[in-house]
Copies of this chain bind each other. A is one copy, B any other.
Amino acid sequence: MGKVATKEVLRFMTDCLKAAGAGPKPAELHAKLLFEADRMGHPSHGLNRLEMYVNDIISGACQPNNQPKLIKESPSTALVDGCNVLGSTASEFAMNIAIKKAKETGVGWVTVKGSNHHGMAGYWARLAALEGMIGMAFTNTSPLLAPTRSKKSALGTNPLSVVAPASKGEMFYLDMATTAVAVGKLEMQRRKGEPLPSGWAQGPDGKETLDPELAIKTSCLMPLGGGEKTSGYKGFGLAAVVELFSGISSGANYGHKIRPWSHSGSGGPANLGHCLVAVNPCCFAEGFGDRLADMIQHWRKLEPTDPKLPVMALGDKEKKAAKETDCNGTVSYVKQMIESAAALAKKLKVKPMEVKQC
């Protein structure tokens, strides 16, 4: 493990994106997005992903200095063409439109085509919550999820996020892949040398496997809910809803038509679809924030099954991680990540990330 000052993390990621070809504005926004994932305790979506974005810029699959375009709108909706920019540039552009429309009409529902991976979905939903709105973000991703009964994948991990502001300093925060787990969790089990729990992943024969090595090689995740007996078709359904809102609505690539995403940056433009939504809770009953805070605080007071494991409200884990990061002023990375970052610095000829050994 190595610790890196938060400012240095941001500096390094911004430099790498700029060295790859991104202008200062898209590079800074994208670095901030990745840093927030590390800050909030979701390392799979942070520095860990930097090289994949860099390679997409270098290969030309992503064109970070284009401008997203608003190509169609109604009082409460918009369709945006991301023009192959970074997913962060497209998502910020789209969410700002959604927030504006929600302030005017109560709801803003914006779909995006021609985009790239937009990182941690919760970042975008939270933009709306910081403006007093219920924020939602959906995106399709490269195929990894096997529909119930299918031997192979046909949908992405298709995350969805809902974030809402509450009274008393509370915030409702949900950001989840619609697969049972993300690929990163398979890797963690492999590192620990432990078998996978049931319901996570399929082997090449289409049957559930508990072998992390085989699961990683196969790259075929089970939907939230696992197998058919435990209602995995619901997770399949949710992944499909995310696709319905993202690629199907916006005219981007969808489902089985999306390229695999790899470290090489090959495969041409991703043409991913997103959906960014803002709903103004002031349009409904007064006291929204108070009721939401009451519900959140009720959860924390519930008697736990195991006294050592208190019940957490949604978002508590992220809140705690962010607080720790801010207190320490540093982010901790595993050795492998530090080494990858050093190699990337060398490749891009940027100043290496300054690591405080510990």
Q: Give the interface of A toward B (CB within 8 A).
A: 72-77, 79, 104-107, 109, 111, 113, 134, 147-152, 154, 162, 164, 172, 174, 176, 180-181, 197-200, 202, 205-207, 224-226, 229-231, 233-238, 240-241, 243-244, 247-251, 254-256, 279-281, 283-288, 291-292, 295, 298-299, 302-306, 309-312, 314
Contact = CB atoms under 8 A, between A and B. Distances in A.
Contact of A279 (B106, B109, B225): B109
B302 A107 contact: no
B198 A230 contact: yes
Contacts of A284: 72, 77, 79, 111, 249-251
Which 9 pairs from chain A and chain B are nearest by CB? A251-B285, A206-B305, A77-B106, A74-B106, A77-B283, A174-B237, A75-B105, A150-B302, A76-B107
A1 to B, nearest CB: 24
A147 B299 CA distance: 8
B224 A298 contact: no
A302 B224 contact: no
- In the complex this chain forms, how many copies of it are found? 2
7 contacts: A106-B109, A162-B244, A164-B244, A180-B231, A199-B199, A199-B226, A225-B226
Contacts of A250: 284-285
A180 to B, nearest CB: 5
Contacts of A306: 149, 206
